[in-house]
Chains A and B, each alone.
Chain A
């Protein structure tokens, strides 16, 4: 179940605050993908698989024509939720390579919220369809509100305070100060500024919420055998998992696991497949669309029991270089950029290569978790060794 594929190239565009990019999503995608292919020491004609997720621009299938790929043997664009699929996209590419459907697969995500609409804005008038019919008429039309509802109950059930939420934000912002790619580079966050920032949807302050961004990132995956001959140190996929429990996606908070999400199953599968345990992990990238659901993910994927979360993250435990589990070492969704979470995978690969701006010493295993509020969830565990 492991070592079948590896990430051999990563790339990104410049990351922008939403609306600031001079380039369209398609242009941003082309920049990131070209950079990732260059990084791998390959050329576009080598690529025969293309995976993204939640690409609502419907440009995905056309991209290979623009980028100079010769043949496309595998293409996928899963659409279910949002950032929950970011590591599932890597899982898919690994599956395609392992099954022999494609040799060299690009995974990418490109977002231009400036042009396509900002994720934090809700529709006002008109008629809500699907799941939105049960949320939007009550003023619950954006992810911040849905995640706040989950987080409020999670905090209530397990005795979690605002301090724990703040720890996630402070770690991400601290790490972004060392990362010149980060949109929030040069914008340090203090606890006082966190506390004084305006409420978005309680218990979320402004700094509990991810950014709205324009940008793109990409990864090139190939088989573990071929990976050895390429120019960068491969980040081998030790295990990946994506899925949810039965009835995990019943609409409008009617899933039996409320307020938990699908991480318990993802964690169980990931550790079983990898043959390692959370205590073996020294650095992790966790999707944080909002800080609260990241706390839930940390507990449910297996780092601690839910009632231990407050202690697990306290007093800088998630901060590089001295914390027990440096989290989101490039700044994450909160402070690097929000490329629907896929940029976290690029950072997980850097930790394997040893060239993160918050590099943890002696990284053998590097975890990236997608999520959270919409099932199915996803996670990938990279290894330095095949």
Chain B
């Protein structure tokens, strides 16, 4: 797994873990939910398959490669924690292996003026130790993207 520093501030909000999303956020892979009945891959992981409505899933790792489908450069400080972070980008990335899967993320090594729709990207992970919410401490892996040559 390629590692990267977290793009958002250290204490910035984390995903609450659920039985469905635990694989995606704690594996350090693009581990996607796959329906055991029909094989459909869906993201975000859900409680039932949106193709056949089955309730049982396993998880399949996609290669860490994607394409920028859209992006925005955020300038407005929507929370005081972001005062030093703006301007930053938010992107929608589709996966090479599963083009219908779109993941919201950040492209961490591209300047605002250089962002492009169609830009190829590879995934890295920021490791964040999550504790203090009553649950057992656990490491969360936040997927983050870098420009691919």
Contact = CB atoms under 8 A, between A and B. Distances in A.
Q: Provide the main secondary structure of the chain A interface.
A: loop
B127 interface: no
A149 interface: yes
Given A120-B78, A149-B92, A156-B117, A128 B16 contact: yes
Contact of B78 (A121, A128, A251): A121
A125 interface: yes
B13 A254 contact: no
A165 to B, nearest CB: 13
B133 interface: yes
Contacts of A99: none
B119 to A, nearest CB: 12
A280 interface: no
Given A139-B90, A153-B70, A253 B75 contact: no
A124 B78 CA distance: 9
B74 A259 contact: no
B13 A258 contact: no
Given A152-B70, A254-B44, A254-B101, A141 B79 contact: yes
Interface string A186-226: 00000000000011111100000000000000000000000
Given A131-B44, A137-B8, 5 more contacts: A125-B11, A127-B16, A139-B74, A140-B90, A253-B70
Interface of B: 7-8, 11-16, 18, 21, 25, 42-44, 46, 50, 69-76, 78-82, 85, 87-88, 90, 92, 100-106, 117, 133, 142
Interface of A: 120-129, 131, 133-142, 144-145, 148-150, 152-153, 156, 198-203, 247, 250-254, 256, 258-259
26 contacts: A123-B13, A124-B79, A124-B81, A125-B81, A127-B13, A127-B16, A133-B25, A134-B15, A134-B103, A135-B104, A136-B13, A137-B12, A137-B15, A138-B142, A139-B12, A139-B85, A140-B90, A148-B74, A201-B73, A201-B74, A202-B75, A251-B44, A253-B102, A254-B101, A258-B92, A259-B70
